[in-house]
Every structure is written in structure tokens, then in C-alpha cells.
Amino acid sequence: MIDWIYFFDLCGTSVFALSGALAAGRHKMDPFGVIVLASVTAVGGGSIRDAILGTTPVFWIQDPNYIIVILATVLLTLIFVRKPKRVPRYIFPVADAFGLALFTIIGAEKALSLELGGMIAVVMGLITGVGGGIIRDLLCQQVPMVLRTEIYATASIMGGICYTISLYWGAPDMFALLFAMATALTIRLAAIRWHLSLPAFDLKTQQK
């Protein structure tokens, strides 16, 4: 029987590696830079999660398939995406949205498998979903996407909540997984399409 959680984890790794590789292409990095940025984007959030939960060595050290997936994704990106400027602008945020949805559920499931509470599962899903992207953006000397664009972290939080509540109500694992992923992905894609955002905290200081 297919281990769907593991399958989606590898898919999320590939999608986030693609996101990192595309970001590297936009910043005209060399192949080594592409590998580094793809790697930290793909495994950064999960590594932070495992360090917090104390499940060490972290997942990609225990299972080299994650590194193989990252390298294969980078290789295919370098071969088929020869002209980064010609890549449609929507590809990067859409790929990132899929990675966010996938990794949110993976992080929440990891916490629940350790018999932690639902709130911790949602937080771990959020860290797994946004951690790699934060590292990617910082290396690119940009304000992290989670802090500067349309609804992002909220999509991850809602996905984690849907996943934990679905399991609490006794829904089948596959239904909970797909429902939560669809929720997070729909919210994020809607935010991209219609530029939806939460109200900004605008603290204006009095001019002297």
C-alpha cells in the first residue's frame, strides 16, 4: 500500500525545490547557488520543525531520498528552464502555493504522530510550510514573502486547522489530508489572483 503522507512529502520537497531554483534563476545565481537555494527552501522548514520537536537527526538525514528529489528537481530545472526571464510570472507564486499547502499538512501530521495537541500541530504545520521560504527570501536579500505579500501564513494556518479538526471528527486520513490541502491551496491561490491581504498594521508616529 502506498504511504500517501510520504508520497506527498516528496512531492512537496520537489515543488519547494522548484520554487527555490526559480528564485535562484531570477537572481542569476550559478548552479551551486541554485542547489543551495533549492535545498534550503525544500528542507528548511522541516529541519526547523524537527529541531523544535527534538526528532533528530532531521528527516532528510535519515532518508536520502529527499536529497535525491532535490537534486533531480534542480537538474530538470537547469535543463528545461534555460531562460528564467521567459518563465511566466505566475509560475513562482503558484509553485510556492502548492509547496505551502503540501508542507503544512506534513508538519501537522508529524506533530500529531508524536501525540501532540491540535494547536501544536497547527503551529508545526505553519513552521514547516513557511520556514523554507523565509530562509530562501533572506538569502535573496528580500523581505520574506510571508511578511510582505497577500494572505500567506493564514492559508497555512487554516489548512492545519482543517486537518486537525477533520481527524478529530473521525474523518478518514486521506479525506482529511486532501481537504486540508485543498483549503490551504484555495485560500493562497485566491489571494494571489485577487491580491487579498489582511489589514496592515500602520503605526504612524507624530511629526515634530
**pLDDT score recorded for residue 80:** 85
Q: Specify the residue for cell string 490551504.
A: 184
How far from 150 is each of 134, 138, 184, 194, CA to CA, in Å?
Answer: 15, 18, 13, 9
Q: Nine-digit cell at 71?
A: 537534486
At 58 the three-state DSSP class reads coil
Give residue-wise pLDDT tens across range 25-74.
999 999 999 999 999 999 999 999 999 999 999 999 999 999 999 999 99
For the chain, domain boundaries: 4-194
Which regions in the chain score pLDDT beneath 50? 1
Three cell numbers, residue 180: 486540508
- In terms of phi and psi (left: phi > 0; alpha: psi -120 to 50; beta: otherwise), the region of 133 is alpha
pTM listed for this prediction: 0.92
Give the model's pLDDT for residue 82: 66
Q: Which pLDDT value is given to residue 199?
A: 80
pLDDT on residue 205 = 60
Q: Can you tell me the distance from the alpha carbon of 96 to that of 117, in angstroms, rounded to the nearest whole number?
A: 27
